[in-house]
Amino acid sequence: MSLKATILILGLVWSFQAALGIRFVIDREECFSHKAEYEGDTLHVSFVVIKSDSQWHFNEDGVDLVIHGPTGEQVHDFREQISAKHDFVVQKKGVYRFCFTNKSPYHETIDFDVQLGHFAYYDQHAKDEHFTPLMEQISKLEEALYNIQFEQHWLEAQTDRQAIVNENMSKRAVHKALFESFALIGASVLQVYLLRRLFERKLGMSRV
């Protein structure tokens, strides 16, 4: 392999997506920033509401996410979503802000992931006709690796959320069963007591 091709491939490897992955607890509002260095890059965003600080609350109302561009313009917004995935092409380079709003009275735990896809040609003047198919294959490989990573992270977050919801529902079912059992026992005791009083009253009246 020529030195030119080696340098080109190394440059492409170093240009893989810059990523931000975080799991955080939100009370009312939290904002995060991510810088896009080049126009035309693809910004991938995903989030999943994992759990609430109350085991009786299942976050069905979701949270809001608003994405702002470098000049403050609104790029996209999600309203009352439990989970979402979105990608868009960067029109202006600069800092993009991602602001979450929690309208519920509970603290929510959110899994948030941002990944920036940038494909750079470090040798723009390469004339070798063999570079074109090589670049295409590397681009396809990069996209395939990103999709696998993104989907794995998305599925892990969804699995975590479902496990917590199932655990909370199981606890709720157990508590409900215990409550119903105690209520049934109480009703039975009350019924026995009332029947005894009734028989005692009838027995007293028959003696008279």
The structural domains of the chain, ordered by start, are 16-166 (2.60.120.680)
Q: Which helix (H) or strand (E) holds 25?
A: strand 18-26
Residue 65: the pLDDT is 95
What gap in Å lies between CA 172 and CA 164, rounded to an integer? 12
Which structure tokens are listed for 150?
């993104």
What gap in Å lies between CA 47 and CA 130, rounded to an integer? 40
Vertex 103 angle, CA 102 and 107, to 5°: 50
**Which segments in the chain show pLDDT lower than 70?**
1-19, 54-60, 118-132, 135, 139, 143, 146-147, 202-208
Phi, psi of 142 (to 5 degrees): -60, -45
Residue 122: the pLDDT is 47
Residue 13: the pLDDT is 38
Phi, psi of 95 (to 5 degrees): -90, 125
Residue 101: the pLDDT is 95
Distance between terminal CA atoms of the chain? 117
Predicted confidence (pLDDT) per residue in 127-145, tens digit: 456 566 776 777 677 767 7
Residue 129: the pLDDT is 60
DSSP state at residue 28: S
- B/e letters for 125-134, b = 16+ CB within 10 Å, e = fewer, are eeeeeeeeee
Which structure tokens are listed for 189?
């005791």
Residue 190: the pLDDT is 80
Give the residue among 119, 136, 114, 127 at the shortest CA–CA distance from 67.
114
Beta bridge pairs of residue 89 = 42
Residue 50, CA atoms < 13 Å, CB-side half-sphere: 17
Distance of CA 17 to the CA centre of its chain: 20
- Which stretches within 59-130 are classed as H helix? none
